[in-house]
Amino acid sequence: MVRQQRQTTMPSRLEVIVSRLATFVIGLALLLGLDVLHPARVRTYETLTLDLRLNHLAVIGDSYTTGTDEGGLGPRSWPNRAWQLLSARGERVSADVAAEGRAGYGTPGDHGSIFEDLTARGVQPDDALVVFFGSRNDQGVDLGVLAQKVRNTFDLARMLAPAAKFLVIAPPWPTADVPINVLQIRDVLGTVAGTVGATFVDPIAEHWFVGRPDLIGPDGVHPNDAGHQYMADRIAPLIRTQLSA
Choosing from 19, 219, 233, 244, the catalytic residue is: 219
Choosing from 63, 77, 113, 135, the catalytic residue is: 63
For CA atoms 180, 181, 186, 190, the dihedral sign is: positive
- H or E, element range at 131: strand 129-133
Residue 219 appears among annotated catalytic residues: yes
Helix axes 78-88, 225-244, angle to 10 degrees: 50
Round to whole Å and give the CA distance between 34 and 31: 8
Choosing from 56, 62, 138, 222, the catalytic residue is: 222
Residue among 95, 93, 113, 94 at smallest CA distance from 103: 113
φ, ψ dihedrals at 94, nearest 5°:
-120, 115
For CA atoms 61, 70, 173, 129, the dihedral sign is: positive
Residues annotated as catalytic are 63, 219, 222
